[in-house]
Structure 1
Amino acid sequence: MTAAPLPVSQFKYDPVDTLPEHQPWCVDAPPIRARMSIVDLTVDISEYSKPPPNVPDPPKARWGTLEFRVYTAVACVVLPIMAWIPISLSQPSNPNYWQFQGRLSHGWIPFRNVDNSDAQYRSFRSNFLLLTFLAALYLFCKFISTRLRTPSPPSANNLHLLPYNFVCALLFVLGLHGTSALKILAILSVNYLIARVCKASRAGPALTWVFNALVLFANDRYAGYRFGDVLPELGVLDSYQGAYKRWHIVFNLTMLRLVSFNMDFYWACNASDLQEYRHKRPMTHKERKASHPTQMYSFLNYVSYVLYPPLYIAGPIMTFNDYLWQHRRPIHIPLRTAIMYGLRLLVSLLTMELVLHFMYVVAIKDARAWTGNTPAQISMIGFWNLIIVWLKLLIPWRFFRLWALLDGLEAPENMVRCMANNYSTLGFWRSWHRSYNLWLIRYIYVPLGGSRRMLLNTALVFTFVALWHDRTFKLLAWGWLVSLFVLPEVVAATYILPASQYGGKWWYRHVCALGAVANILMMMGANLVGFVIGTDGVRFFVRELFGTAQGIVFFAAACACLFVGAQIMFEYREEEKRKGIYRRC
C-alpha cells in the first residue's frame, strides 16, 4: 500500500509525557497575506510554525540571481518534456499501444480513455460518491444528535459524543463488513483483555505485539477466515459479508490502533503523575500524547477510537491519547480551514483525473509495453507511476482527514510534500505517510532505543513496515534497500560535511545538491522496486540505461536536471523559513 517514514533521530520521548510549554496555536487557516507567494502552496501544519533552537536566519532570497534564472529556464524547458513523453506514449500511434489498450476504460473527458487499471485507486474512485454521501449522512446524524442531546449546563468537553461514536462505529463496521464484524470485535476484545489484565506489567507490550503480529499473518494466510471453515453449522454467516468483504485488508490499519491503545494504557498505568493541562490555550500535538487517568481507557472509548468511521478505512492514524484529548479538550476548527482543505482535495482529484486520462503509464507498466522505448521514455514511465502512487494515497487520506475535520477532530496530515519535492532520504520518510511515521517513532523506534542504535533500529523498523504492508519478498527488498540508502546521508551529514562546520561555505550548497541527486536516484530505485515494477523491472531498466551510449547520455542529462531541481527545492525551503515555516523534510 504505502511507503513508510524513517524515524526521526532527534525526537525526544518520555512515556510519562513530561512535556515542555509551546507557543499557543489553534487549528486555523494560514494567515492572510497582502500578496500571494510561492510558499502559500505549502501544506499548513501548525506545530511547525515555531523555529527550532539554534537555527540561523535564512539567507537573502536568490530567486532573482542569474544562477536561479538559469535554473528557472531549465525547469521551464524540461518539465513540459517530462509531461509530453508519457502523453505521446499514450497515443494510438505508439507501436505498443495494442498491448495495453485492453486495460483502458471509457473516460468522462471527451475523446479520451482513462487508465483506471490500478485496483487500489479504482476501488476509491468508483465509490467516491457513495463515500461522500456516507460522510454527509454521518455528519448530519451527529448534528441532529448533538442538537437533541445537548448537555445541560453546556459542557466544556465532548466526552458526551463518545457513546455516539461507539454506536456509529458498530453500525459502520457491520454495514461495511457484514458478519465479519463479529471477527473484528472478537480480535478487539482479546486485545483489550490483554491490556486490562496485564496493566503495568511488561508482559502487556510483549503480548500485544505477539498477538497482533499473529493476527496479521493469520489474516493473510486464511484471507480473513470463513465461519464455515471453523464450524460448518456457521457457514450461513458467510452469506452476508457487507459492502467490502475484504475486512482483513483494512485490518492492517486497525492493528496500529490496537497497539496504540494497549501501549498508551501501559504507559498510563506506569505514570507516576498524570499531567492535567489547565491552561486555556489549545493543546499542541505533542501535549496530546500525555496519558489519561486509567479509568478513561474503557471498552466504550476503545471501540469508538479503533473503529472511528472517518478514519477507519484508510487513516490518517491517530494515537488513542490524542483521540481522547480532542474530546476532553476540543479544538476549534474554523469553517474556512475545512473549505480550504476541501479545495486542496478537489485540486488533487482533478490532477489525478487529468493524469489518468492523458498518461496511461499504469497500464503500460502492468503490460510491460515498453519494447523499443528509449531510456528517457522508460524513465518517465517509472517517474509518472510514482506520481500516481503518491496521488492515489494522497487523495483518500485527504478525503478521510477532511471528514474528520468536519467532525471536529484534527488527524495528522499524511502528505506534506509532493513526491517530486524531496531530495533528502530522511526528509522523504518524514513527509510521506506522516501519521505512520509518528506512530513508528512512538511505538517502535524510541522503545527500541532510538538514535542510540539508529542503523539497527532503522533496519528493524523498515522490516516491520515491509511485512506490515505485504508479506512478500518484493516489499522486504524495498525495506532493506531503504535502510541501506539512508546510510550515506547520515554519514555525510554527521561525520563528513556537517552543516554546523561547513554550512557557511559558498560551495556547500552545491555539494549538497550533488548528494541530493544521489538520494533522489536511490529513492526512486527503491520505490520502483517496492511499489511499481519490482526487482525484475528495475534490472531491465538499469540494463537499458547503462548498456547503451544513448542511455549513458540520458543519465548524465537527467543528473544535471536533478541537480537543478535540488537547488530549487533548497531555495523553496529557505523561502518557507523567511515566511516562518520550519520543516524537517
Structure 2
Amino acid sequence: MVRHKPSPSFNITSLTVSIPTKKRAQSTTPSRWSTLEFRIYLLIIVLTVPWMAWVVIRISLPTHPAYHLFSDRLSHSWLFGWPVDNWDAQYRSFRNNVPILAAVAGVHALLTYFVPTQLRLRLNLVFALVFNVALHGTSTLKILAILSLNYALRARHPSFTWVFNVAMLFANDRFSGYSYASISPSLGWLDDWEGVYPRWYISFNITMLRLVSFNMDYYAATTTPKSDSHPPHAYSFPVYLTYALFAPLYIAGPIIPFNDFLVQIEPQSTRPLTQKQEERPTTLIKPYFIRFIFTLLTMEVLIHTMYVVAIKDARPWEHAAYLPSELALLSFFSLIHVWLKLLIPWRFFRLWSLLAGIDPPENMVRCMVNNYSALAFWRAWHRSFNLWIVRYIYIPLGGSHRQLLNSLLIFTFVALWHDLTFRLLAWGWLVSIFLIPEMVAGWVFSAEKFGDRPWYRHLCVLGAVLNAFMMMAANLVGFVIGTDGVRYFVGQLVGTKEGLQFLVCAVAGMFVGVQVMFEYREEEKRRGIYRRC
C-alpha cells in the first residue's frame, strides 16, 4: 500500500482526499471529458443542481404555507440574521462546542510540539485522563473499571473479548451508564459531578472498538508472532490506556488499530526491527485544515438556507403541503446533511490527531453523491470503521468465501453498534439485501466478458442508478425519516402523476450523474490513483 502524493498542479481528482492506494497499470481508456456526450452531461448538471437546491430553499422560506409547522425548531444565528436549522442534536452538540474543542486541541498540539519525543506517551496519557474527567466527571472511574476488566482478558481467546464487550454495550444502554446511587446509596454523592458530557456510555461505542482491537492484536502477537510483530512488553497497561482514551480520537474517532497507533506513538522502543521510521504527518496538516474549513462553511450555508432537519422532524408526510418532487429533494438534501454532520467532526478530530503526530485513517473518502456501488460506498463511508470490521470480523469469519452471510452478520452488528433500535436493524438488513443485485450483476455481466462492448458502460450505469436509489432508500430508513416516512415517500413517487413524472426525470438525472462518476474514476486511474470505492 502506498499513499498517493497529489500532483503539484491542481486537477479534478484533487477534489478527493488522498488515501493509501494500490499500484496497478494505468487506465488505457481515452479521456471523455471533451467529448460531445460529456459536454452535454456537464451542461445538464450545471443547470440541474441549482434548481434542486432552489426547490429545498423555497420550501424553507417564511412564505411557504407549511413554514409554521417547523419554524419553532429554528434558532437565531450569526449569518445576516437568518434563522438557522440547528435542530439536529448530534451536530448541534459539536457545532456549539467548536470553540472550546479548538482551544483544547490547540493546547494539546502545543504541548506535543514542545514536549520531548520520549515523554509524549506520558503526556498523552495524562492529557487523556484529564480530558476524560472533564468530559465525564466521576464516571471516568466506571470507564477505567471496564478498561481494566477488558485488559485482564487480553490473553484469553478472542471470543471472551467479544462476549465481554458486546455485553457491556447492552448493559451500558440498559442501565444508562450506571448511576452510583443505584450501586449503593452511600455513593450517591459521586453522581453530583457529571462533567460536561455526562452520557459517557453514548460515545463508549467507539471506545469498545479500541478495546477489541487491543486484545485481538495482543492475542495475535503472543500466539502467532511474526517478524513484524511488536514485542509483548509493548502491550503495557499505560500504553493501552493511552490508546483507549487518546484525546483527539476519543469522542468520535476515526478508529485506528492498536498496532498502527503503537508504531506512531512509540516509534523507537516498540517498532519491530523490520519496520522503518515513517514521516510524521505534518505535511498533511495545511491542506487538510483547508478541507475542514471548506466543509464547515458548506454546512453553515446549508443549515442557514435549507431547513431539512426541522422540516423532516415535523413529519411532512402527515401534511399535504409538499409536492412529490419537494419531498424527494428534501430527502436527498437530508442525506447531504447526514454526510456533512458526520464528515465535519471526523475531519476535526483527525486534524487534531495529525497535529498530535498520529495519522489515523480518513473516514470519508467520497462525497455522498459520488457513490453508485453499495459495496464501494461502505468502503468510503466511515472508512476507519470499515477497515476495523474487515480486520477483526470479516477476515476471521472467512472473508469472501461466505460473502452474503458475512455481510448480513456484519451489518446486523453495525446497526446494533450504532443504536439498539429496530429502525437501524431494518437499515442493516436492507443494506444486506441490496448487496445481492450488485453481486449477481457483477457475476453475470463481468468486465472480463463484456468490458470491450460499446454498450457495457451504459448498462453498468443503469445498474448503478438502481443501486444508488436502493442505497438512498436504506439510508433514509436508518438515518433520516424511518420506515413510515419512506413508505409514504415511495407511495407519492409511484402513486401520483406528479411523482411518476419526477421519478422519470430523477432516473435520467441519476444516469447523467453516474456517467460522470464513472469517468471521474477513470481519470483517477489515468493519474495512477486506485481506490476501491
Amino acid at match of 1:223: S
Residues 102-145 of structure 1 show CA distances to partners (whole Å, capped at 9, x for unaligned) of 00001211141000000000000000000000011112223333
Matched, 1:309 2:309: no
Matched, 1:175 2:134: yes
Paired position in structure 1 for 2:274 = none
Contact 1:375 1:544 in 2 (8 A): yes
Counterpart-to-counterpart distance in 2, 1:265 and 1:121: 35
Amino acid at match of 2:130: L
Paired position in structure 1 for 2:297 = 350
Matches within 5 A, 1:511-550: 511-550=459-498
Amino acid at match of 1:358: T
Paired position in structure 1 for 2:167 = 214
Indicate the larger mover: 551-560 or 350-359: 551-560
Matches within 5 A, 1:376-455: 376-455=325-404
Counterpart-to-counterpart distance in 1, 2:366 and 2:193: 41
Contact 2:363 2:383 in 1 (8 A): yes
Paired position in structure 1 for 2:227 = 274
Paired position in structure 2 for 1:280 = none
Counterpart-to-counterpart distance in 1, 2:226 and 2:490: 57
Matched, 1:120 2:73: no
CA spacing shift, 1:334–1:307, aligned 2, 3 Å: closer
Contact 1:224 1:248 in 2 (8 A): yes
Matches within 5 A, 1:51-450: 51-52=23-24, 57-146=27-116, 158=117, 160-196=119-155, 198=156, 204-275=157-228, 291-326=229-264, 327-328=266-267, 331-333=278-280, 335-369=282-316, 371-450=320-399
**SS at 2:153's partner residue?**
helix
TM-score of the two chains, using structure 2 as the length reference: 0.96
Q: CA deviation at 1:336?
A: 4.4
Matched, 1:42 2:12: no
Q: CA deviation at 1:76?
A: 1.3
Paired position in structure 2 for 1:19 = none
Q: CA deviation at 1:584?
A: 1.0
Residues 26-84 of structure 1 show CA distances to partners (whole Å, capped at 9, x for unaligned) of xx962312xx3211111111x21x434xx562311101111111111111111111110
Amino acid at match of 2:380: S
Contact 1:96 1:371 in 2 (8 A): no
Contact 1:29 1:334 in 2 (8 A): no
Counterpart-to-counterpart distance in 1, 2:471 and 2:118: 44
Amino acid at match of 1:51: K
Contact 1:423 1:517 in 2 (8 A): yes
Residues 252-277 of structure 1 show CA distances to partners (whole Å, capped at 9, x for unaligned) of 000000000000011011124332xx
Residues 218-246 of structure 1 show CA distances to partners (whole Å, capped at 9, x for unaligned) of 11111111001000000000000111101
Q: CA deviation at 1:571?
A: 0.5
Q: CA deviation at 1:171?
A: 1.2
> For structure 1, which runs of at least 5 residues remain unmatched after alignment?
1-21, 147-157, 199-203, 276-290
Counterpart-to-counterpart distance in 1, 2:108 and 2:81: 38
Contact 2:86 2:92 in 1 (8 A): yes
Amino acid at match of 2:192: S
**SS at 2:154's partner residue?**
helix
Q: CA deviation at 1:499?
A: 0.7
Matched, 1:554 2:502: yes
Counterpart-to-counterpart distance in 2, 1:160 and 1:58: 51
Q: Which has the higher contact order (CA 8 A, sep 6+)?
A: 1
Residues 360-414 of structure 1 show CA distances to partners (whole Å, capped at 9, x for unaligned) of 0110000123533111100011001100000000000000000111111110000
Contact 2:136 2:199 in 1 (8 A): yes
Counterpart-to-counterpart distance in 1, 2:28 and 2:463: 21
Q: Percent identity?
A: 55
Paired position in structure 2 for 1:16 = none
Paired position in structure 2 for 1:508 = 456
Counterpart-to-counterpart distance in 2, 1:485 and 1:253: 27
Paired position in structure 2 for 1:487 = 436
**SS at 1:114's partner residue?**
coil
Contact 1:274 1:293 in 2 (8 A): no
**SS at 2:371's partner residue?**
coil
Counterpart-to-counterpart distance in 2, 1:410 and 1:302: 18
Runs ≥4 residues deviating over 3 A: 333-336
Counterpart-to-counterpart distance in 2, 1:334 and 1:380: 39
Counterpart-to-counterpart distance in 1, 2:82 and 2:119: 51
Counterpart-to-counterpart distance in 2, 1:142 and 1:373: 53
Contact 2:281 2:359 in 1 (8 A): no
Amino acid at match of 1:128: V
Amino acid at match of 2:54: W
**SS at 1:105's partner residue?**
coil
Counterpart-to-counterpart distance in 2, 1:410 and 1:435: 12
Contact 1:338 1:406 in 2 (8 A): yes
**SS at 2:70's partner residue?**
helix
Counterpart-to-counterpart distance in 2, 1:273 and 1:97: 63
Q: CA deviation at 1:160?
A: 4.1
Amino acid at match of 1:214: A
CA spacing shift, 1:180–1:472, aligned 2, 3 Å: same
Amino acid at match of 2:91: Y
Counterpart-to-counterpart distance in 2, 1:463 and 1:79: 35
Residues 325-345 of structure 1 show CA distances to partners (whole Å, capped at 9, x for unaligned) of 113265324644201100000
**SS at 2:253's partner residue?**
coil
Counterpart-to-counterpart distance in 1, 2:341 and 2:244: 24
**SS at 1:471's partner residue?**
coil
Counterpart-to-counterpart distance in 1, 2:505 and 2:112: 57
Residues 122-176 of structure 1 show CA distances to partners (whole Å, capped at 9, x for unaligned) of 0000000000000111122233332xxxxxxxxxxx5642222211111111111
**SS at 1:178's partner residue?**
helix
Amino acid at match of 2:320: T
**How many pairs does the alignment contain?**
522
Contact 1:116 1:356 in 2 (8 A): yes
Contact 1:311 1:317 in 2 (8 A): yes
